[in-house]
């Protein structure tokens, strides 16, 4: 069997060419075309929405970090001057004076909301006062990237953890104010209550404009995929609705412009085969393919009428 014959047979199977009513053939053809179009669109949208989901999470993560920087700034300017004198006394150290503590406390409040529960925030340092904030090996590598390249402002990407794959966004933490060195330059300058709470071996030796840590927001990779899938599902539903609307409108338009006139011509052709003199193909006045088809049937009708008249004349002799 030749390739051309195989192609014709396949077309007959898929589209039912000549085997079904024309309206059904058109419906099947449109369904296949739209089905393939939707499938290709979904594959492309899957890639696009994956990128968009990551960008959205990156933007939200950076917003969180901007908000935490604002909290740190407020704490440093307005809260610390009030609480710092209390920490100089013999009482218990009050961490509310520490910008990092305030930022992480505020973020914990945000995390209680369902829309933010997948986000995690840390302020990790190479040499923190509170060892809870000690950078792990991954965070250390991020901090070293910022220290090696002062022009680097944001680092983002994906990483694997024991709990699964996560997406992260990180920014550097720089000692930007001389007041920060009160607690982080030497133990002699630090408040007595701080030394009692955290000791005098960590969190010191910082210098002005030094990058000492990183703000890092992490989101489970699953959250990225879920955001992408929600967008993809909404788009699939929208495309399906558009397909149904377009298919119905196309079917109605084709029925009005093509199928209905062809059906009328077909009925007239059947009638003309018996009584050609009583049939008129008004569609011949159209200038499209339907009109040319009607003109052909009109000429055929005239030829048939002439032939039938000649036959009658012969029989009458």
Q: Are strands 155-161 and 164-174 parallel, antiparallel or unpaired?
A: antiparallel
Give the pLDDT of residue 167. Answer: 84
Give the pLDDT of residue 9. Answer: 53
Give the pLDDT of residue 307. Answer: 77
| CA 255 centroid distance within chain | 38
Q: How far is CA 29 from CA 18, 24, 32, 273, in A?
A: 13, 8, 5, 33
What digits encode the pLDDT tens for the residues 76-126? 888 888 888 888 877 788 888 888 888 888 888 888 888 778 788 899 999
Q: Where are the alpha helices (DSSP H) in the chain?
A: 3-15, 22-74, 80-87, 99-111, 137-148, 181-184, 192-198, 221-254, 260-272, 289-316
Report d(CA 117, CA 68) in Å as an integer: 16
Sorted by where each starts, the structural domains of the chain and their CATH numbers stand as 69-224 (3.30.450)
How far is the first Cα of the chain from the last one, in angstroms, to the nearest whole number? 56
Give the pLDDT of residue 4. Answer: 53
What digits encode the pLDDT tens for the residues 134-148? 999 999 999 999 999
HSE on the CB side for 231, CA within 13 Å? Answer: 18
3-state class (DSSP) for residue 121: strand
Can you give the pTM of this predicted structure? 0.58
72-79 contact pairs (CB < 8 A, 24+) = 72/99, 72/100, 72/102, 72/103, 73/99, 74/102, 75/99, 75/102, 75/103, 76/177, 76/179, 76/180
- Partners of 216 in the beta sheet? 122, 170
The DSSP code for 78 is I
Report d(CA 104, CA 119) in Å as an integer: 12
Give the pLDDT of residue 10. Answer: 46
- Cα torsion 66, 68, 72, 78: sign: positive
- List, run by run, the mean pLDDT of 10-residue segments along the chain (317 residues): 49 53 74 83 83 78 83 87 82 85 87 81 91 92 94 88 82 86 86 87 91 89 77 84 83 78 79 73 76 79 76 70
């Amino acid at each position: 069997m030749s390739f051309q014959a195989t192609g014709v047979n396949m077309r007959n199977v898929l589209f039912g060419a000549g085997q079904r009513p024309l309206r059904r053939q058109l419906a099947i053809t449109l369904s296949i075309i739209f089905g393939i179009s939707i499938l290709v669109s979904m594959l492309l949208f899957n890639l696009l929405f994956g990128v968009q989901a990551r960008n959205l999470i990156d933007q939200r993560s950076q917003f969180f970090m901007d908000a935490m920087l604002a909290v740190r700034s407020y704490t440093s300017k307005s809260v610390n001057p009030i609480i710092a004198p209390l920490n100089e006394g013999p009482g218990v150290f009050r961490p509310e004076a520490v910008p990092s503590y305030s930022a992480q406390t505020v973020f914990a409040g945000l995390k209680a909301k369902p829309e933010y529960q997948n986000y995690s925030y840390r302020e990790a340092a190479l040499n923190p006062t509170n060892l809870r904030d000690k950078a792990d090996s991954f965070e250390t590598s991020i901090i070293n990237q910022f220290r090696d390249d002062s022009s680097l402002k944001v680092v983002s990407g994906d990483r694997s953890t024991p709990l699964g794959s996560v997406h992260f966004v990180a920014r550097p933490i720089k000692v930007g104010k001389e007041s920060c060195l009160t607690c982080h330059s030497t133990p002699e300058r630090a408040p007595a209550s701080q030394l009692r709470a955290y000791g005098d071996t960590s969190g010191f030796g910082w210098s002005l404009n030094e990058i000492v840590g990183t703000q890092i927001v992490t989101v489970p990779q699953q959250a990225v995929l879920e955001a992408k899938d929600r967008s993809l599902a909404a788009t699939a539903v929208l495309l399906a609705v558009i397909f149904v609307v377009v298919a119905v409108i196309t079917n109605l338009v084709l029925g009005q412009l093509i199928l209905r006139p062809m059906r009328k011509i077909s009925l007239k052709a059947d009638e003309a085969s018996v009584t050609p003199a009583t049939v008129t193909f008004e569609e011949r006045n159209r200038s499209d393919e339907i009109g040319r088809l009607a003109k052909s049937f009109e000429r055929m009708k005239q030829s048939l009428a002439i032939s039938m008249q000649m036959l009658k004349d012969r029989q009458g002799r």
